[in-house]
Structures are given as C-alpha cells and as structure tokens.
Amino acid sequence: MTSARPFNFAPGPATLPEPVLRQVAAEMLDWHGSGMSVMEMSHRGKEFGAILEAAERDLRELLAVPANFRILFMQGGGLGENAIVPLNLSRGGKVDVVVTGSWSRKSAAEARRYADVQIAADIGKGYAIPRDWALRDDAAYVHLCTNETIDGVEFHDLPQLTSGVPLVIDVSSHLLSRTIDWSRVGLAFGGAQKNIGPAGMTLVFVREDLLGHALDICPSAFNYETVAANHSMYNTPPTFAIYVAGLVFQWVKALEYGGKHGLAAVEQRNIDKAALLYGALDASGLYENRVDPSCRSRMNVPFLLRDERLNESFLTQAKAAGLLALKGHKSVGGMRASIYNAMPLEGVQALVGFLKDFEARHG
C-alpha cells in the first residue's frame, strides 16, 4: 500500500502525510492505552488535555509564535472566520481590505456586515498584487489573504504598515508551509484542511492587545477573549481534528530535507517543488500559468491548457497515471495542482513527467 497510493493534488481537504494516517489508524481503538479512541475522549479529561497542550506547544515552536500571541483552536472554517474576525476586531469602525483574489473578496463581503469596509487595492482580473494601497490610518485593521487558493497568488513578504494599524492575514492555504514575520502581524487565521488536518477547525493566532473588543453581537463561542481565557476549551473543541493536527506538527518537526529540518525543511522542499512545477509550465507550449512570478503561490498552481478541448482527456489520463484532483476551480477553469506540505517531491516529479508526456502526445 505504501508506494501504491496515488498523488492527490486536491486544494483542500487535501493530502496528509501517510505516516500520520497510519498512526491515526493504529490508535483508533485505543489511544496510548487509554482504552478509548481520541474521538471518544471527554475534552475535559487529562488524556485530551495532554494532546491539546502538546499540539499548541509544537505549533508555537514550529512557527516561532511570540509569547504575546495566543493560539486558539476554533471550530469551523475560513468562511465563518471571515465574519468572526470583524466581530472581534472591527469595533464597528473601519476595515481596509486588499483584494488579491476570490478569498479576500469574500472576506470583504463578510466584514461589511459589521464595519465600514474599504477596498484598499484590487487585483481585479490582473495577475500581480497591486503596489499602491489606499489605507486609512484610523482603520481597526487591514485584511490580506496571503495565499489565494483559487487564484494561485501568494505574498512572499508581508507589508510593514507604518500606520501602526494591525495587519490581519488569512493564511488558510499556506499556514505551516513557511515562516511568518510576526512583527508585522496582529492576527493570523487559517482553516486546517490544507496543511494541518481535517476540515472543521480553524487556527487563530491573536496578539493579546487585540483581545477584549468584541462587538456585543458576537456569540460567546466565537469571542476570542473568551476562547483564549479558557485555552480553547470554553466549549467542546474539535478534538479529533486537534489530535490529527498534533501528529502533523510532529511530522513537520521531524522532517529532514536539503540539510535542513523542521519548518525550514518543509519550506525548502516547498520552494523546490514550486520551482520544478513552474519551470515545467513556463518551458511548455501547451500549459500556461499567468500569475506574475513575483507572487506565484508555492501551494496552489493553477494552469490552463492553451487548447481547452484537451481538458477532459488531460484529467482522465492524469487520474489513470495516479495523479488525482487536478481540475481547476470552476470560477477560473483549467487545472490546478495544490502541492501542500504533505505532497512529496516525487509527486511533483510525477506530475511534471506526466505534463511533458501528455504534451508530447497532444501538444
């Protein structure tokens, strides 16, 4: 079974490290001699308490999260969090959003329910992050989506906001794929179902001085101050997702690549995987990625076939070659290869081999 699993390029939920899946299966009926599956454990028991504590500690270490940031394991996903952030941080005031694709556009729409939202910049139908942003010095925060899953646009450097306005970053689809410069961030959040674990959990990293300003209409389950004060246990957290995430964190910590280890190894491997794939696309006469090289995503690589009539046979033959879920998002069409942390270099090599082979036969 080990080497027989196909390579899964799904955008999320997405491929997970095989050793993690094996451990989850092995511990399913009896976690560490407790006589229970993690799914069956009371979240208030000492067993689950140890799981949550280890997961938070490992995540903090991996991402070098400063002591003045709280890490919250929340129920739900990115779309809900797009409302929960302004419920907690907007104070009903001004929010500036930099639109770089589909997700930041959705974030702006949700924030409008609670705040005076201004689009500070908009990528529109372009393929490069706009340079000039119309920011307001009295905004409650500035929102960026630092990796647009659908559009394949990634910020490789975070802006340094001179105004002192907190930066909120939606890191859903590249969380744990690279380091984060926390000195430039007020809050970061991400759904789990890309690099972390099962869908239904969101991780929130919030600077302590931003807590305590939720609107009265914010449900208590979604109030960051309440969740933080109760160490993500105000209500029942998504226990099984936290457990899987904890195993993924351990897997990242143990990863070795290119003479590096841990998150640095993951990041270097992601850089190499992306370079290999973009290089193959750019060298081809059949495939095309239009995103400006300055902001191409290392995680999500959308590409078009110049002859769209080949789309169906491309997908059929890819699947037969053990390359799954390459169909692009319906809003942009074409193909998309999501190459998250758990996608090995061999998966990208296999994809590149297939791209060349298919082009030779059909290009």
Binding site for its own copies (CB under 8 A): 1, 4-6, 8, 10-16, 18, 21-22, 24-26, 28-30, 35-37, 39-43, 45, 75-80, 82-84, 109-110, 113-114, 191, 193, 197-201, 216-222, 234-241, 244, 322, 324-325
Question: CB-wise, 18 or 122, nearer to its own copies?
Answer: 18
Q: How far are the Cα atoms of 9, 29, 142, 351 from residue 147, in angstroms, in the given order?
A: 17, 37, 15, 22
Question: CB-wise, 148 or 359, nearer to its own copies?
Answer: 148
- Say if CB 276 and CB 284 are below 8 A apart: no
Q: How far are the Cα atoms of 52, 102, 202, 270, 322 from residue 191, in angstroms, in the given order?
A: 17, 16, 4, 19, 27
Q: Annotated catalytic, 138?
A: no
Nearest to 201 by CA among 175, 229, 182: 175
Annotated catalytic residue: which of 58, 170, 251, 327?
Answer: 170
Q: Closest separation between CB of residue 42 and its own copies, Å?
A: 4
Q: Closest separation between CB of residue 182 and its own copies, Å?
A: 27
Confirm or deny that 57 is annotated as ligand binding.
no
SS3 76: coil
Q: In sequence order, what are the beta bridge partners of 203?
A: 73, 190
Q: In sequence order, what are the beta bridge partners of 327?
A: 335
Q: How far are the Cα atoms of 235, 292, 300, 359 from residue 283, in angstroms, in the given order?
A: 52, 15, 19, 11
Q: Which amino acid is at 59?
A: L
Strands 260-261 and 256-257 come out as: antiparallel
Confirm or deny that 235 is annotated as ligand binding.
yes
Please provide the DSSP assignment of 280-303 as one string.
Answer: HHHT-SSEE--S-GGGB-SSEEEE
Q: Closest separation between CB of residue 284 and its own copies, Å?
A: 25
Question: CB-wise, 135 or 197, nearer to its own copies?
Answer: 197
Confirm or deny that 193 is annotated as ligand binding.
yes
Q: Annotated catalytic, 170?
A: yes
Q: Closest separation between CB of residue 64 and its own copies, Å?
A: 27
Confirm or deny that 118 is annotated as ligand binding.
no
Confirm or deny that 22 is annotated as ligand binding.
no
Q: Which amino acid is at 108?
A: A
- CA trace torsion 14, 20, 22, 23 (10° rounding): -140
The Cα 122–Cα 131 span in angstroms is: 10
Nearest to 209 by CA among 73, 70, 56: 70
SS3 205: strand
Question: CB-wise, 2 or 183, nearer to its own copies?
Answer: 2
Annotated catalytic residue: which of 96, 103, 251, 327?
Answer: 103
Confirm or deny that 300 is annotated as ligand binding.
no
Q: Closest separation between CB of residue 301 and its own copies, Å?
A: 16
Confirm or deny that 100 is annotated as ligand binding.
no
Question: CB-wise, 191 or 302, nearer to its own copies?
Answer: 191
Question: CB-wise, 27 or 288, nearer to its own copies?
Answer: 27
The Cα 97–Cα 361 span in angstroms is: 45
- Residues annotated as part of the active site: 103, 170, 194
Binding site listing = 44, 103, 149, 170, 193, 235-236
Annotated binding site for L-glutamate: 44
